[in-house]
């Protein structure tokens, strides 16, 4: 049975890393549902957060093949319930619709969203949450016509009390020392 997995890849900051990582999915014809790349807490190490649908059997192989890339430090995979994750969505609606009555304001308040910017023509609303939540808000707001909509890739943290990458780097250093 396929289910959603969050893959976290830590890599050196080298050109072409994104291609090397995505090639592993392309080869097996796996679609990437969402992708976020940014520098991690450790300077110079980049973190890729990738959401795909996979079977438990396949995810192990895919992550193994990602980790095999020379400039990849470590790759982890988790099911959704093992991680705390969020996506951010922005919605642009006509400011006029806001003035007609207080429905939009109520929707925004109930959804825990906030208003980022109001101009004479448009208002931008921001909502952070899971896809189902940002999608639901889109559905509500679209009754008043959403002019533009964008949702980010996922960002995610493990529920572990320790930073797993730092642990990993310590272990790796020890192993590399041994090899000499």
Partner 1 sequence: MTTKKVTGSQAVILSLLEEEVDTIFGYPGGAIMPIYDALYDHNDHVKHILTRHEQGAIHAAEGYARVTGKPGVCFATSGPGATNLITGIADAMLDSVPLVCIIGQVASPLLGTDAFQESDVVGISMPVTKWNYQITTPEEIPETIAKAFYIANSGRPGPVLIDITKDAQFGEFDFDYKKCTKIRSYLPEQPINKFKIKEAADIIDNAERPLLLFGQGVIIGRAEEELKAFVEKTGIPAAWTLLGLSALPTDHPLNVGMLGMHGNYGPNQLTNHADVIISVGMRFDDRVTGKVSSYAPSANIIHLEIDPAEIHKIIRADVPILGNSKKSLKLLTEQVKENRHDEWLARFRESDKTEQEKIIQKELFPEKPGLTMGEVVRIAGDKTNHEAVLVTDVGQHQMVASRYFKFRHPRSNVTSGGLGTMGFGLPAAMGAQIGAPDRKVIAFIGDGGFQMTIQELGTIAQNKLPVKIVVLNNNFLGMVRQWQQLFFEKRYSFTELQNPDFIAIAKGFGIDAHKVEVRDDLESSIQTMIDHPGPYMLEVVIEKEDNVFPMVPSGASVSDIMLEP
Q: Which of 65, 95, 152, 158 binds partner 1 (CB under 8 A)?
A: 65
H helical segments located in the chain: 17-27, 56-67, 95-100, 103-111, 131-141, 164-179
Residue 16 touches partner 1, criterion: CB under 8 A: yes
How many Cα atoms sit within 13 Å of 148 on the Cβ side? 10
Enumerate residues 73-102 that contact partner 1 by CB under 8 A.
73
Q: Are strands 122-129 and 114-118 parallel, antiparallel or unpaired?
A: antiparallel
By the rule CB under 8 A, 164 interacts with partner 1: no
Min dist CB 108 to partner 1, Å, is 44
Q: Which of 27, 145, 164, 170 binds partner 1 (CB under 8 A)?
A: 27
- On the CB side of 65, CA atoms within 13 Å amount to 13
Which part of the chain contacts partner 1 (CB under 8 A), choosing from 81-89, 91-99, 117-125, 170-178? 170-178
Pairing of strands 83-94, 146-151: antiparallel
Where on the chain is the footprint of partner 1 (CB under 8 A)? 11-12, 15-16, 19-20, 23, 27, 60-61, 64-65, 67-68, 70-73, 169, 172, 175-176, 178-180
């Amino acid at each position: 049975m396929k289910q959603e997995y969050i893959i976290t890849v830590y890599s050196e900051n080298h050109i072409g890393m994104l291609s090397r990582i995505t090639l592993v999915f392309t080869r097996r014809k796996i679609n990437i549902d969402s992708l976020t790349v940014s520098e991690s807490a450790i300077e110079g190490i980049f973190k890729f957060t990738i959401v795909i649908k996979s079977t438990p059997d396949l995810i192990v192989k895919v992550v193994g093949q990602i980790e095999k890339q020379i400039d990849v430090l470590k790759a982890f995979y988790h099911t959704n319930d093992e991680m705390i994750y969020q996506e951010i969505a922005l919605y642009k609606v006509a400011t006029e619709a806001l003035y007609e009555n207080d429905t939009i304001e109520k929707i925004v308040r109930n959804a825990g969203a906030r208003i980022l910017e109001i101009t004479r023509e448009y208002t931008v609303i921001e909502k952070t949450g899971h896809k189902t939540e940002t999608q639901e808000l889109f559905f509500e707001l679209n009754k008043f016509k959403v002019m533009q909509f964008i949702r980010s890739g996922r960002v995610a943290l493990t529920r572990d009390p320790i930073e797993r990458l730092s642990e990993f780097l310590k272990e790796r250093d020890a192993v590399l020392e041994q090899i000499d």
